[in-house]
Amino acid sequence: MHTICKILHFGKNMGKNKAFKLIMESVMVMAFAFMASGCQPPKSRVHDGRLIIFHAGSLAVPFKEIIKKFEQENPGIKVYAEGAGSRESARKISSLHKPCDIIASADYTVIEDLLIPEYADWYIHFAGNEMCIAFTEESRLGSEITPGNWFEILLSDTVAYGRSDPETDPCGYRSVIVMKLAEIYYDRPGLSNQLQTKNKSYIRPKEVDLLALLESHAIDYIFIYKSIALQHGLRYILLPDEINLKTPEFAHFYAKASVSVSGKNNGEQITKTGEPMVYAASIIKNCENFNNALKFMEFLLSSEKGLAIMQANGQNPAVGTEPHYMKKIPESLQKYLYHKNEK
């Protein structure tokens, strides 16, 4: 508008020149038409052909393949996927109110803690995973690290390691839980604090952010999910089942460790207790593309489609839900489920 006013003023001063006035009138017509078109409210948006998914960073590789095959099967739907730490993804919905149809989290409790009941009514488990220590051929002391001495290697002054941020990423608080469980399992008082206070400058928002540091040799080791190590061809050591957060039989032992992170409200702290890791997905309440979201969930939960791709990428299917969510889950998805306490 400031520019238009300047043109009007300039045109007034040149009013004696008829040719100039004609030019100015033409310019003004075009300018006001442009402004009017830019200020018009958008037409009613039609979202029949789109789908927005926020997913855990650790799902980047399998979801890329799942989305590609889903779009091939549903050529009228374009999927827009955004990867981040699961807690960060949830905050984009609850705090930033970004449009989203599906959230796929590396921890079902993220949906429970941060989105239900305001932004979601239910969730469905769809895969498991486990923690490991990953490294490369160039990692210092890589030829010496074992499932029995990994913590000694990480504490060595000659190596550096990274982990993700517990505030934004489940892999971050799971890494800390592994450290605390290791202190108990190996009977090494003070071990957890030693590990947590070393190399804090290499904490990143999500687990996949650590890959660049590892591959550039800025660090030697990372706490990461086994699936990511497999997908990226990294060397890794498996941790004992007592501390890798994979095995339901050790759920009681996992619960001996916990981590405090921020909750749903400002200043609130919640406790994340160790448990076997389970990924989960949900359709966001009142989302703009519900029908497309439902189709994608059916594709994801199909043992011949989405779950087969998950398994091929190192994550075993683990489909289920909590009994009290069964009635809230769309009927077309219920056929894929068992109650959590009926496995």
pLDDT at site 304: 97
Residues 6+ apart with CB under 8 A from 184: 253, 256, 257
156 and 237 housed in the same domain: yes
The pLDDT score that the predictor gives to residue 207 is 87
Specify the pLDDT at position 38. Answer: 35
Asked if residue 102 and residue 69 are part of one domain, the reply reads: yes
**Domain presence at residue 193:** yes
Tell me: do 226 and 148 sit in the same domain: yes
Q: Is there a single domain that holds both residue 230 and residue 137? A: yes
pLDDT at position 266: 87
Please give the tally of structural domains in the chain: 3
Is there a single domain that holds both residue 82 and residue 108? yes
Per-run averaged pLDDT (10 residues), the chain, 343 residues: 43 44 44 37 52 97 98 97 96 96 97 97 97 98 97 98 96 98 98 98 93 96 97 97 97 98 92 98 97 98 97 95 93 80 41
Whether 42 maps to a domain, the answer reads no
| pLDDT, position 337 | 86
pLDDT recorded at residue 338: 63
pTM: 0.83
Q: H helices of the chain, where?
A: 2-13, 18-39, 60-73, 86-94, 108-114, 150-154, 170-185, 191-197, 210-215, 226-231, 251-254, 290-301, 306-312, 331-334
211 and 320 share one domain: no
Burial class (CB in 10 A: 0-12, 13-18, 19+), 3: exposed
Q: What are phi and psi of 228, to 5 degrees?
A: -70, -40
CB-based contacts of 200, cutoff 8 Å, min separation 6: none
User: Could you tell me the CATH number of the domain that includes residue 231?
Assistant: 3.40.190.10
Assigned domain for 270 exists: no
Q: Is residue 237 in a domain?
A: yes
Residue 44 lies in a domain: no
- Containing structural domain, residue 105: 50-129+278-342
